[in-house]
Structure 1
């Protein structure tokens, strides 16, 4: 059965940029358990700090340019931490690529970039080789689709400010379900 396409029409530049950051932080949660296994926790945390400072900027706060630059660099290099031959290598690489959309959102955001970000998130989640236990869903892909839809619902109902809490909830959820599978 084909997955539903997210309705991204009418989103502002800022909403699209913030949603890219939320998607990245969600995927960071899933990547954390893999990072622990392969000794890449610190580089992944560096990426996360970079995304969080960009997220803060999109929410009206200050962005620490050095932290964002260091995070971008770590995101670029961390992809190579796992070879394709590792059972989680394809998931790792696809998951790390979600982060590029958060870093890109500093300069370029909008409906098309967000669509690419969501597609990358779905691709990565679809590469998770094990099932997950998260209520009515049994795969990371189903969970990713559900959380994308929820993030769109929240931004339309309460604006970007409502996404700060959702981003951390999603990160913890993805961490929990991948660590236990």
Structure 2
């Protein structure tokens, strides 16, 4: 046996566990999802899972982080409006993936009664992208492409709230056109952003 074999076997097990966690959550719902069920579905042992993850929420969060990858990262081409549209299109694709959005909604719901789970999701999934967005907005302010007196954090809330409202409350269609309309209304008309 070579050194690469255990690593590749370990990687295959990790990938199988993450996929099984998503499948389990989609099929049964978050409440009925269990580490035992994930182990059974992935053909792994419970101890294999617990060696890497402390809970089902941690497994599901890793599955989301890996699935999202750099899809929702912020480009910086110097065109603030285009960059935000591009990033929001990535968020729309993520929210429109029925399987991943079901897991995301479940983790958001679970986080309402478990501050630790909510903090983990914010730290791993939300805050890194929020920090990228704030940096993008601050650079645009420094370069005169966005009014300097606008609070960047509030502007982000205004941009993303409609997407989350549709995802979590109304379940209305989320499209690139919706994202573009939000960017146009909030960033261009209200905040006076210039390409």
User: TM-score w.r.t. structure 2 length?
Assistant: 0.33
User: TM-score w.r.t. structure 1 length?
Assistant: 0.35
Structure with max Cα Rg:
2
Structure with bigger RCO (C-alpha 8 Å, 6+ apart): 1
